[in-house]
């Protein structure tokens, strides 16, 4: 998606060869107009597939997941990192390793929010090693939902996330695919025609 690639080129900061900082439009300050356009793009790509819910991982996936859900006309569900066990009795949970923080966290989903009748689109901000998305898949399997695919804003294609998800039979759609980066240099994989 040209709009996102341009934004990454002008406002993204390659901290090193592995980490891209997008705090000024995705992770800290949020650009609502860009989110709206990205939601439209995801909805167009995944339309006609019978999606019943858009599922995301808190917190940076929430904005694009919401705009996608609005466009598809379905609810959005947030996989939570710090659930209230008092408020949620029927919780499915799994452990995920965080790429950026180098730590592990528990990801949870209430079986009251997603179940075997759901066909789910997963939306997240980044795809790196695929750990977060694989954790989301594990949870969705536990509640017997089916998965239409994964939509990510930015894929770092030099990391193994896409291959890991494809091996599990998951279709991945990325709005911007970075093949290489270093300070002052970001290279994208051209969009498919």
Binding site for ligand 5GP (CB under 6 A): 19-22, 27, 60, 99-100, 124-132, 161
Who contacts 89 (Cβ-Cβ below 8 Å, separation ≥6)? none
Tell me the closest approach of the beta carbon of residue 94 to ligand 5GP, in angstroms.
Answer: 13
Q: Is the Cβ of residue 102 or residue 190 nearer to ligand 5GP in the bound state?
A: 102
Q: Is the Cβ of residue 90 or residue 100 nearer to ligand 5GP in the bound state?
A: 100
**DSSP β-ladder status, 104-110 and 91-97:** antiparallel
Tell me the closest approach of the beta carbon of residue 17 to ligand 5GP, in angstroms.
Answer: 10
Which tokens go with 84? 């209230």
Beta-carbon count within 10 A of 173 CB: 15
Tell me the closest approach of the beta carbon of residue 68 to ligand 5GP, in angstroms.
Answer: 15
Q: Is the Cβ of residue 62 or residue 92 nearer to ligand 5GP in the bound state?
A: 62
Q: Is the Cβ of residue 111 or residue 138 nearer to ligand 5GP in the bound state?
A: 138
- Say which DSSP state 137 is in: H
Tell me the closest approach of the beta carbon of residue 93 to ligand 5GP, in angstroms.
Answer: 17
Measured distance CA(56)–CA(157) in Å, rounded: 21
Measured distance CA(152)–CA(134) in Å, rounded: 13
């Amino acid at each position: 998606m040209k709009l996102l690639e341009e934004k990454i080129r002008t406002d993204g900061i390659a901290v090193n060869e592995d980490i891209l900082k997008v705090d000024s439009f995705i992770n800290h300050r949020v650009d609502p107009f860009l989110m709206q356009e990205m939601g439209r793009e995801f909805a167009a790509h995944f339309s006609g597939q019978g999606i019943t819910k858009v599922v995301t991982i808190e917190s940076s996936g929430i904005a694009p997941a919401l705009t996608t859900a609005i466009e598809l006309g379905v609810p959005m569900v947030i996989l939570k990192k710090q659930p209230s066990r008092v408020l949620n009795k029927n919780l499915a949970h799994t452990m995920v390793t965080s790429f950026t923080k180098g730590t592990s966290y528990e990801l949870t989903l209430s079986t009251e929010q997603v179940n075997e009748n759901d066909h789910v689109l997963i939306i997240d901000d980044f795809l790196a090693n695929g750990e977060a998305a694989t954790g989301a898949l594990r949870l969705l399997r536990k509640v017997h939902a089916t998965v239409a695919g994964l939509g990510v804003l930015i894929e770092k294609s030099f990391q193994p996330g896409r291959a890991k998800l494809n091996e599990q039979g998951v279709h991945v759609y990325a709005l911007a695919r970075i093949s290489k980066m270093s300070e002052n240099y970001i290279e994208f994989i051209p969009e498919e025609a």
